[in-house]
Amino acid sequence: MEVIVKKDYEQMSRLAAQMIADVVRENPRCVLGLATGSTPLGTYKELIRMHKKEGLDFSQAASFNLDEYVGVKPTHKQSYWYFMYHNLFRHINIPLENVHVPDGTAADVEAHCAWYDDEIERWGGIDIQILGIGGNGHIAFNEPGTAVFSRTNWVALDKRTIEDNARFFKRKSDVPRFAITMGIGTILEARRVVLLANKASKAEAIAATVEGPITAIVPASALQLHPNCTIITDRAAAGKLKRKYGSTPRKLPKVRKKK
Ligand code: PGA
């Protein structure tokens, strides 16, 4: 697990966007794993800027989102489809037929979850998965207690998550109680994982994820098992880490060719 501590949210977002852009440039037919929430908004803004100003081309890319509320239509302002469309998809040239967000209105939710995992495989797997983290250590909607090798499934939301998300709804009672989420096992199959965290409210979860044991009680700690996982935080979210970490990605020094 590589940990990178940036000065602030802007620098964290810029680095994450750069990592995604590198994947898109290297393989225009790449599959992106995307997240909702306030954390990746800066990253998406930077990707939009790169698309508009630098010609970053998503015309052959595909994407899979992590999760969606059950019972919420894509047209609902708090649906994750709506969030993705308005904060990213409509501003870049990714074909909408290539983007996937779990369908919260699926008639057979379990069949839809199984289909979602199969569909990721059919598209060749996720090249780079972006994640936020909950204050309780969740990734996507995998709440504390979720099995490390879980597959995409429907879940009941944790009390803390409902409280955290109440700010987006008129009343706390409007927050959906169930969601469809990519499983932790599904996430661990991505070729590369980048988890972003800013603000002091994430400091405890980040310390437990990076320096604690792998435990179902801290779902993000399962990322310690991933061979290519980078955690990027701002200084506040790194506030409870005991060890010191670098602020730039690890890179092998260039080997000079012998003449
Ligand atoms: P946030 O949510 O980005 O809005 O903090 C992250 C999460 O709960 O996974």
153 catalytic, yes or no? no
Task: For residue 143, indicate whether it is catalytic.
Answer: yes
pLDDT confidence of 165, banded at 50, 70, 90?
confident
The predicted structure's pLDDT at residue 221: 98
| Domains delineated in the chain | 2-234 (3.40.50.1360)
Options 51, 100, 112, 138, the catalytic residue: 138
Mean pLDDT across 22-39: 97
User: Would you say residue 249 has pLDDT above 80?
Assistant: yes
Residue 187: pLDDT above 80? yes
Cα–ligand 1 centroid distance for 258 (angstroms): 49
Report the chain's mean pLDDT, rounded to a whole number: 96
Ligand 1: does its nearest atom lie under 6 Å from the Cβ of 133?
Answer: yes
pLDDT reported for residue 81: 97
Mean pLDDT within 157-183: 90
Predicted confidence at residue 172, as pLDDT, reads: 86
Question: For 41-85, how does the pLDDT look when each residue is reduced to its tens digit (9 = 90+)?
Answer: 999 999 999 999 999 999 999 999 999 999 999 999 999 999 999
227 pLDDT band, cuts 50/70/90, is: very high
Q: Residue 258: what pLDDT? A: 77
Which residue of the set 143, 158, 164, 234 is catalytic?
143
Q: What is the pLDDT of residue 201?
A: 96
- Provide the phi-psi class of 240: left if phi over 0, else alpha when psi is between -120 and 50, else beta: alpha
153-160: Cβ within 8 A, 24+ apart: 153/110, 153/113, 153/180, 153/181, 153/183, 154/70, 154/109, 154/110, 154/113, 154/178, 154/179, 154/180, 154/181, 155/179, 155/180, 155/181, 158/134, 160/134, 160/135, 160/136
More confident residue, 52 or 157: 52
pLDDT at 171: 87
Give me ligand 1 centre to Cα 20, in Å: 19
Q: In this predicted structure, what is the pLDDT of residue 250?
A: 86
Average pLDDT over residues 5-11: 97
Does residue 259 have a pLDDT over 80?
A: no
> Is 26 designated active site?
no
- Is the separation of the CB atoms in 66 and 35 below 8 Å? yes
- For ligand 1, whether the C-beta of 134 sits within 6 Å is yes
Q: Residue 133: helix, strand or coil by DSSP?
A: coil
Cα gap 85→90, rounded to integer Å: 5
Is 91 part of the annotated catalytic residue set?
Answer: no
- When pLDDT is cut at 50, 70 and 90, the band that residue 158 belongs to is confident
